[in-house]
Amino acid sequence: MRVSRRAVIAIASIAWFAAVGYGIYAVVFAPFDDPAYLCAEPVEYPAASVSAETVLRECAAGNTYTIHRGDTIGVDLESFSGVDTSRQWSALSVSDGYVLSTVRAPSRVIQCSSMPCPSGFSPQRTDEVAVYAAAHTGLATISAVEQHCGGNRGGCDKGYLWHVTIRVD
């Protein structure tokens, strides 16, 4: 089978445009994958409602943890809101629900400096929390995306990817 030069150039051009297009997408829209960024600020106390043998926070990003079947692992990622800016978490998920089963689905927990929260109080800290149980041996990744919103930019930035690998023995 003979392939014409024109067909080879067309296929090469399509491949090049696809690669460039993906590169532009990754730079403009995909979250940054830099675990060190997520550890730049001191982490406050975890939400009291996260009950697990191990609780992962922002600085856990990029690490691998080994737990045993039956153990629970919690995630508590801090969010803040101010007058015109906020930092929020989204897409908290686990890659393999067979390895890590959901005990507490991802949800937002309001943190007040005094409990219970005073009526009419607008919290500045709302944590994204979840708890998973080690159901079967294997590997799973827990991930989320942190975004900064508002301020001079308006809208939200493309975010920072938070992820940890969990090995269940």
CA 129 to chain centre: 11
So what's the pLDDT on residue 163?
95
pLDDT above 90 coverage of the chain, percent? 37
| Maximum average pLDDT range among 54-68, 105-119, 141-155 | 54-68
What are the angstrom distances between the C-alpha of 100 and each of 19, 53, 64, 144, 151?
Answer: 35, 14, 14, 16, 37
Query: What is the model's pTM?
Result: 0.71
In the prediction, which pLDDT does 115 show?
56
pLDDT range class, residue 156, cuts 50, 70, 90: confident
Instruction: Please tell me the predicted confidence (pLDDT) of residue 21.
Output: 57
